[in-house]
Chains A and B, each alone.
Chain A
Amino acid sequence: MAFYFVQFLTGLASAASLFLVASGLSIIFGVTRIVNFAHGAFYMLGAYVAFTLTERFSGALGFWAGIVVASLVVAVVGVLVEMVLLRRIYHAPELFQLLATFGLTLMVQDLVVMIWGPNDLLGRRAPGFRGAVEFFGQNIPTYDLFLIALSPIVLGLLWLLFQRTRWGVLVRAATQDRDMVAALGVNQKWLFTSVFALGVFLAALGGALQIPRDAVHHALDLRIIVDVFVVVVIGGLGSIIGAFVAAVLVSELNAFGILIFPKISIILVFLVMAVVLIVRPWGLFGKQEAPARRTPGLTVNPWRPLSQGERIAAWAGLAVAAMLPLVSGDYALTVGSEIAIFVIFAASLHFLMSVGGLASFGHAAYFGLGAYGIAFLAKMAGLPMIACLLLGPLLGCLGAAIFGFFAVQLSGVYFAMLTLAFAQIVWSIAFQWVAVTGGDNGILGLWPEKWAAGPASFYWLSIGIAALAVAALRIITFSPFGYALRATRDSLLRSEAIGIDAKRIQWTAFVIAGTVAGVAGALFAYLKGSVFPDSLGISLSVDALVMVLLGGVETVSGAVIGAIVYKMLSIWLVSQTDLSKLVLGGVIVLMVVAFPKGIVGMLETLRNLRRRSEPAKPALLKSRIEGAE
């Protein structure tokens, strides 16, 4: 009994940091509507800076001052980020904000290693809280008791701040209607900046307070951010009390999950989150959101099928690509195959997010499922390669059918978070179910059969399948189904009003996208000769998003171009620099801020500009819209 009680207290103590970080994320989201992916990075920075400062300042006062000063320093960094970066993207679509803050996270990961080195750092114990209290023969660290007491105090202080100060009233008003707050003479710029500073301060404090409990290392950010997403989604985005309750719930699930269901401890939390989202999509304490903002400018260039000339150009491009084996060596062909595979993957995500308006942050799940599908069929069932290639992606299809059914019930950031959570579930299963998946060691020895074994023949196979997949997705985009899907993207209500079964259409799109991603994963397994849980990971999901973004979210052919450019760039970067994350993160941030339309989008804009300068706008169009207010 005492053992369980101590376990309960340990859970509560872990909840403290989680609550601090999650409440910061929630506060920032409430006002700015930005889901700050970089919140984990600020948490990690808090821990690192606090480590340095507490080593520098001696004595008990030095330690506590170091914790507070570290949080303040990181908050100042946050203010700079807000002023330089976020102010430019407040009106951008959610996807861009998530990506920009993810880019920041990547940059911080490399910067942290540059400054503090790659090794784990062990911080000082907290002065005055070094001992432990004995409880029925079990030891409870007094520092844990301190943390347990801290979170309700912080919760109370935040409540006072938001309920009893003018600043708090303004923030709550801006959470509801920021334009109206401006129309009453309040400068929201500084309101946003101060809110961001508070949120980052809380994240950094959460990190700084962890140093007596835990080693500081450069993977802290992703570890905490996934937990924090889960907490805010369960508690309700924007709700501080929700963040508190959910932080406790998640921490206790982790603490007891390990005891009771050690096998599925990682996925337990995600299962709870999925259930909450399905029952109460806006979280336990959240409020139902208004429909997501429409992407400005999304419909400026209406889509059209390829013209005759463009079709010839596409065939010519494919023909040139097919001639690559005549001129280049094996390495280039392997790279070429990989690029072709990622073209398929990016095109499948593009279909889901640009055509369907559903930006998935866990699309790698279906890629990885396709890869594992191949591994199971080839290694366990011993099927021939053709049969594997045809059947393997069905695992991706099945996964997409199950998860997609739940995911399409939501939209916007909640859709992004739920898909991320599902991908994490699949990743955890692959990671933990060692008996079947080999866990971290993966499944090795998956080589293509003789007819496809040579680099050239595998390359031809890859670009052939890529061309088929891209063409198929294009045909679907311009089919009646594609029009219906685009209608649900542009307005869910209006499309339902004209008799489109929106959820069914979106679900179908999700399954199509998942299956095509599975095809890419299947090829990838053969290319690498092995399958690892990485094929299901967050970073692969984000890679796909960046490819689509780089090519141009609003274009039809952007994904293909984006995948080619991105893959070449990243392979080249990794060979050129050790700081590939820093550069890649910088590129993502720059792209979101300066070139949100992507490569193809920019080319189209240029072409339209040239075309528009010739004939004047039709007069009819002008006179018709005049009457509208």
Chain B
Amino acid sequence: MKLSVQDLNSHYGPAHILFDVAIEVGDGEVVALLGRNGAGKSTTFRSIVGLVAQRTGRILFEGKDVSDQPTHAIVSRGLGYVPEERRIFTDLTVDENLEVGRQPVRPNAPHWTREKLFALFPNLAEMRNRPGGRMSGGEQQMLTIARTLMGNPSLVLLDEPSEGLSPKIVEQMVAAILTMKQAGVSIVLSEQNLHFARLICDRAYIIERGRICYSGTMAELDARPDIRDTHLAL
């Protein structure tokens, strides 16, 4: 088991956001976390990497309990995180953004170099010295993913990678994520867009109002239009 989240409860101040969330990800698996806006997808990810101060529960990464560790320690074990808001360092160039993400090589994870990443995202190769603030939304999204991959993670939490991107860039994104999958990176992907998830994922969890309310393979989910209508349709 790559990642096992058990009984995760999170709060922002007095507000209780996540209720007993449980998620499991196998080695090399790509899992979707589906849910509407505000269902708790981003909070789940932020809680896993320790960016939410008030949380309880167990987070086992590669069999080790990391729930008491600070963010940087969790991430430098090989648990990469790509935030929804992208959070590119706008004053830094593409190369420098990648440098911030660079971590030592890990034996159990694919090794990414700048060259490999530029092959994965050809747009970035042409703008190595451009400041992050002068890139389009799609280019920034590619850069955030590339930046996280520079840490050679064995698992990546991808928060809504298709959000706000043009269909053409979404296609590139699908191809890039599939390449990551083939390289052996486990992925948890949060999405509102079932179509996008179907192209990439093996299994799916559905989260609503901070609770996991369904889990199954993509095929099983496709066979249950009622579930889709209740929990995902707008």
* Complex partner residue of A186 from B17, B100, B210, CB under 8 angstroms: B100
How far, in Å, is A378 (CB) from chain B's closest CB? 54
Interface residues on A, range: 20 to 34
- A260 interfacial contact with B, CB 8 Å: no
Interface-side segment among B36-44, B59-67, B193-201: B36-44
* Contact status B72-A186, CB under 8 Å: yes
The 9 closest A-B pairs by CB, nearest first: A185-B76, A625-B15, A185-B75, A182-B71, A629-B38, A180-B87, A173-B100, A182-B72, A173-B89
Instruction: Write out the residue numbers on chain A whose beta carbons fall within 8 Å of the beta carbon of B39.
Output: 629
Interface centre among A182, A185, A187, A622 (most CB of B within 10 A): A185
- A279 interfacial contact with B, CB 8 Å: no
CA distance A181 to B87 in the complex (A): 10
* Contact status A169-B38, CB under 8 Å: no
- B91 interfacial contact with A, CB 8 Å: yes
- B96 interfacial contact with A, CB 8 Å: yes
Instruction: Write out the residue numbers on chain A whose beta carbons fall within 8 Å of the beta carbon of B38.
Output: 627-629
Instruction: Write out the residue numbers on chain B whose beta carbons fall within 8 Å of the beta carbon of A625.
Output: 14-16
* Contact status B75-A183, CB under 8 Å: yes
- A179 interfacial contact with B, CB 8 Å: yes
Instruction: Write out the residue numbers on chain A whose beta carbons fall within 8 Å of the beta carbon of B89.
Output: 172-173, 176-177, 180
Which residues 612-629 of A sit at the B interface, judged by CB distance below 8 A?
621-622, 625-629
CA distance A78 to B102 in the complex (A): 29
10 A-B interface contacts by CB (under 8 A): A170-B100, A173-B89, A175-B91, A183-B83, A187-B70, A188-B72, A626-B15, A628-B12, A629-B37, A629-B39
* Contact status B15-A182, CB under 8 Å: no
* Contact status B83-A169, CB under 8 Å: no
Interface centre among B39, B90, B91 (most CB of A within 10 A): B91
How far, in Å, is B187 (CB) from chain A's closest CB? 17
CA distance A627 to B71 in the complex (A): 26
Instruction: Write out the residue numbers on chain B whose beta carbons fall within 8 Å of the beta carbon of A629.
Output: 17, 37-40, 42-43
CA distance A104 to B169 in the complex (A): 54
* Complex partner residue of B71 from A177, A183, A626, A628, CB under 8 angstroms: A183
- B222 interfacial contact with A, CB 8 Å: no
* Contact status B14-A184, CB under 8 Å: no
* Complex partner residue of A180 from B15, B42, B43, B83, CB under 8 angstroms: B83
Residue on B nearest A165 in the bound complex, by CB: B99
- B49 interfacial contact with A, CB 8 Å: yes
Instruction: Write out the residue numbers on chain B whose beta carbons fall within 8 Å of the beta carbon of A185.
Output: 72, 75-76, 101, 103, 151
- A611 interfacial contact with B, CB 8 Å: no
- B51 interfacial contact with A, CB 8 Å: yes
Q: A170-B100, A629-B39, A629-B43 in contact; A184/B91 too (CB < 8 A)?
A: no
- B81 interfacial contact with A, CB 8 Å: yes
* Contact status B72-A626, CB under 8 Å: no
How far, in Å, is B145 (CB) from chain A's closest CB? 12
Residue on B nearest A625 in the bound complex, by CB: B15
CA distance A166 to B43 in the complex (A): 31
How far, in Å, is A464 (CB) from chain B's closest CB? 43
- B186 interfacial contact with A, CB 8 Å: no
- B147 interfacial contact with A, CB 8 Å: yes
How far, in Å, is A563 (CB) from chain B's closest CB? 32
Q: Residues on A close to B: CB < 8 A?
A: 166, 169-170, 172-173, 175-177, 179-188, 621-622, 625-629
* Complex partner residue of B210 from A169, A179, A626, CB under 8 angstroms: A626
- B111 interfacial contact with A, CB 8 Å: no
Residue on B nearest A179 in the bound complex, by CB: B51
Instruction: Write out the residue numbers on chain A whose beta carbons fall within 8 Å of the beta carbon of B91.
Output: 172, 175-176
Q: Mark B83-122, 1 if CB is under 8 A from A, else 0.
A: 1000101111000110111110000000000000000000
- B192 interfacial contact with A, CB 8 Å: no
* Contact status A177-B96, CB under 8 Å: no
- B209 interfacial contact with A, CB 8 Å: yes
- B9 interfacial contact with A, CB 8 Å: no
Residue on A nearest B74 in the bound complex, by CB: A185
- B148 interfacial contact with A, CB 8 Å: yes
How far, in Å, is B133 (CB) from chain A's closest CB? 10
Which residues 19-53 of B sit at the A interface, judged by CB distance below 8 A?
37-40, 42-43, 49, 51
Residue on A nearest B103 in the bound complex, by CB: A185
* Contact status A184-B147, CB under 8 Å: yes
* Contact status B51-A172, CB under 8 Å: no
* Contact status B51-A184, CB under 8 Å: no
* Contact status B16-A184, CB under 8 Å: no
Residue on B nearest A177 in the bound complex, by CB: B87
How far, in Å, is A237 (CB) from chain B's closest CB? 15
Instruction: Write out the residue numbers on chain B whose beta carbons fall within 8 Å of the beta carbon of A621.
Output: 14
CA distance A177 to B83 in the complex (A): 13
Residue on B nearest A617 in the bound complex, by CB: B14
* Contact status B75-A626, CB under 8 Å: no
Instruction: Write out the residue numbers on chain B whose beta carbons fall within 8 Å of the beta carbon of A181.
Output: 100
Residue on A nearest B151 in the bound complex, by CB: A185
Instruction: Write out the residue numbers on chain B whose beta carbons fall within 8 Å of the beta carbon of A187.
Output: 70, 72-73, 76
* Contact status B151-A622, CB under 8 Å: no
* Contact status A626-B83, CB under 8 Å: no
How far, in Å, is B64 (CB) from chain A's closest CB? 16
Interface centre among A169, A180, A188, A629 (most CB of B within 10 A): A629
Q: A177-B87, A628-B38, A629-B40 in contact; A184/B15 too (CB < 8 A)?
A: no
* Complex partner residue of A169 from B37, B87, B92, CB under 8 angstroms: B92
* Contact status B49-A183, CB under 8 Å: yes
Instruction: Write out the residue numbers on chain B whose beta carbons fall within 8 Å of the beta carbon of A169.
Output: 92, 96, 99-100
Q: A183-B49, A184-B75 in contact; A627/B209 too (CB < 8 A)?
A: yes
How far, in Å, is A161 (CB) from chain B's closest CB? 14
Residue on A nearest B93 in the bound complex, by CB: A169
CA distance A188 to B50 in the complex (A): 14
* Complex partner residue of B70 from A170, A177, A182, CB under 8 angstroms: A182
Q: A185-B103, A629-B40 in contact; A176/B15 too (CB < 8 A)?
A: no
Interface centre among A169, A173, A180 (most CB of B within 10 A): A180
Residue on A nearest B210 in the bound complex, by CB: A626
How far, in Å, is B53 (CB) from chain A's closest CB? 10
CA distance A468 to B39 in the complex (A): 53
CA distance A166 to B73 in the complex (A): 19
* Contact status B83-A166, CB under 8 Å: no
CA distance A625 to B100 in the complex (A): 36
* Contact status B75-A182, CB under 8 Å: yes
CA distance A621 to B147 in the complex (A): 41
Which residues 146-183 of B sit at the A interface, judged by CB distance below 8 A?
147-148, 151
Instruction: Write out the residue numbers on chain B whose beta carbons fall within 8 Å of the beta carbon of A180.
Output: 83, 87, 89
CA distance A488 to B102 in the complex (A): 43
Interface centre among B12, B81, B89, B210 (most CB of A within 10 A): B89
How far, in Å, is B188 (CB) from chain A's closest CB? 15
CA distance A625 to B43 in the complex (A): 14
Beyond the given A173-B100, A175-B91, could you list 4 further A-B residue pairs with CB under 8 A, ordered by the A residue number? A169-B100, A173-B89, A173-B92, A179-B51
